[in-house]
Chain A
């Protein structure tokens, strides 16, 4: 017999995204909590299973590596959503708009005048040693001056209750398709709860993305030809590439479909060659153009960068944006906000020790057992030391790594990520989560009222990456009372 109600749910002293500290439901989650508490035993499990089946049928799956029979698994999805209250989202929204605006200034500056270095805000050696700085992009002026059109910033909530920015992800952030699909399956599972809770809709994303891409079209054409460029079917995010192309109604192309001729980009179609104006590329800088970047790349389009430089095709995101993802440069984002916008940061960074600074380095080396150490250019939870969960050997290994190449490491305090009730066996337990909202920079900066909530499914784990046992949850951003947006979602369900 299962007990999938919240009567005995214990937040165990962690910040919980569904309940306040006094165990009353957060504003916006009351209807949901009441509904789940009133469901007959087993019903919630049945709904979870129905959702899993429908994810499998929709083919939202990944192939298990090394399994020759081709077993496919769905990305684990947990039926209990994460709630973001209206006032909180307004704060996040304002913070992200500010941050992305400053980062875009930074990218434009760092590849052109470099005022931020000349004015002594960012030390030149830090920039010069950033592996993701692309010399090929020096002097670039992207269409409309926009570099980071699509961003998926990782936020976490600490035990002090505040939201911190963990990473900016300015290259090819993935996951937005899961936001939309999670919502779709949740609406089937809990239709009435949605209508009554005032959840803001996320369905507008593909339309907004299309507008963002149209906005940067460099060619004077009445109907810009936009494509999504994917590395292909074996990429783990292929599903998302195809989903976004489908939802925008644009072509999904691979490198082999594109060709540069006479200073324009064309795609090979059944009717001959057709000009392409805007490329939403889901392929790393390195592989985009073998003539400009890695010459062994077979995924890219030879000559693409030349056309881009000549302003005859737009790329989203612009190449070179990865420099701001360098974890050392990340530490300077609050300074960037002050420098470019003359404002105080709305969303704080996680406090970060830059090992290149001697004081910071000494502190880090003496506190390896409490800190999280990260390599400047790694992602996906790799190249990390989680101090409190590490052995002495591991700490010794990282101490050597840091001494050998201090520029390549930063350290942060171990944060107590907030939690959300999650189905574990036949009851609920709190599991740690982060939040990745998506930001589009087109005519203006727009934040999707939702986001990807990633959840570390292993008990006590703080690593939410899907490659390391993470799952996802639907994220409910609650509308302020009386706003028309939430009603739109309700209507859709009638």
Chain B
């Protein structure tokens, strides 16, 4: 597969996943505020902090009000990771690889693009169904991709993009929520207000699955479920394993044992397998997530250098021999 094409398909999937997660975060925050207007728990500020772009937000929007945060995360065309920008970027990338993805997948992404674009022109974010619709479109796109594409290099690069983005987003939301919510409780093992933590789980689309496994919510269990669970598709460990699996399925320009992206993914999986919720909580959640995000970034940049980046001819030939 062409390096340029592989890169576009990877970013297409990343951006769709980004839009989906943002939409879900906002949807969950909105419905929480409706349920618990007086909970005293700030829903909106953490969403901005999770982006790491607070300074940009403060300068442009000021106060962490629901409207401001929604405007920022939804339709801010100048912000590089709003829903609007993400969907635009996903589509621009898809346009350059139309011949590689199925027509059906392209049409769905194109539909999503027109939907979000129309909504932005009419500032439709106030309509409750909007975020849910975005999420549904994203699901549909991913579903079409999965059910119409051969598991060739193209699909695998999309899968790597989606998995890395998902892991990144889950880790960010967990980081800020953990910080916000722990200010209100003292013990990580106390069965606690379902509403608060169920919102976190819902942000990761994991509430129902969590219930099946654990029933009562404790912080320790949430950490365990969202980070270390090997079977839940949005758990960080599962995401990294997905990415590793896809990377091992595509032939790279170098043998696996010299493939930096694969080695870095293996390393992170090994770390996730050898730790537990106790260690994470005792050593500090924030520190853990910081290191985790660093590892995710390293994998992403190794994927870029290994598969996508331009290289001079002779170097590769020698490696192949």
Contacts and interface: CB of A to CB of B under 8 A. Distances in A.
Nearest to A58: B107
Interface in A256-275: 256-257, 259, 261, 266-273
| Shortest beta-carbon contacts, A-B, top 10 | A246-B99, A245-B99, A272-B253, A242-B98, A270-B307, A59-B110, A261-B313, A272-B316, A252-B99, A242-B99
A94 interface: no
A70 B99 contact: no
A106 to B, nearest CB: 34
A456 B88 CA distance: 33
Contact of B2 (A70, A243, A253): A253
Given A57-B107, A59-B107, A271-B252, A266 B114 contact: no
Interface in A233-251: 233, 238-239, 242-243, 245-246, 251
Chain B, interface residues (CB within 8 Å), range: 35 or more
A267 B110 contact: no
Contacts of B294: none
A492 B320 CA distance: 47
Interface in B76-119: 88, 92, 95-96, 98-100, 103, 106-107, 110-111, 114, 117
Contacts of A140: none
A392 interface: no
B4 A254 contact: yes
Interface in A49-89: 56-59, 69-70
Nearest to B6: A270
B109 to A, nearest CB: 9
B86 to A, nearest CB: 15
Given A58-B110, A243-B99, A245-B99, A273 B4 contact: no
A61 B116 CA distance: 17
A207 to B, nearest CB: 16
A456 to B, nearest CB: 29
A270 B313 contact: no
Interface string A260-292: 010000111111110000000000000000000
A391 B258 CA distance: 73
A238 B319 CA distance: 35
Nearest to B153: A270
Contacts of A69: 121
A interface SS class:
mixed
B216 interface: no
A272 B253 CA distance: 5
Interface in B283-321: 307-308, 310-311, 313, 316-317, 319-320
Contacts of B95: 59, 233, 238, 242
A59 B251 contact: no
Contact of A270 (B110, B121, B252): B252
B190 interface: no
Given A58-B107, A233-B95, A257-B4, 17 more contacts: A57-B107, A57-B111, A59-B106, A59-B107, A238-B95, A242-B99, A243-B98, A253-B2, A254-B4, A268-B4, A269-B3, A270-B1, A270-B250, A270-B307, A271-B251, A272-B253, A272-B319
Interface string A31-65: 00000000000000000000000001111000000
A57 B110 contact: yes
Contact of B320 (A266, A268, A272): A272
Interface string B48-71: 000000000000000000000000
Nearest to B250: A270
The residue among B2, B88, B95, B111 with the most chain A CB atoms within 10 A of its own CB is B2
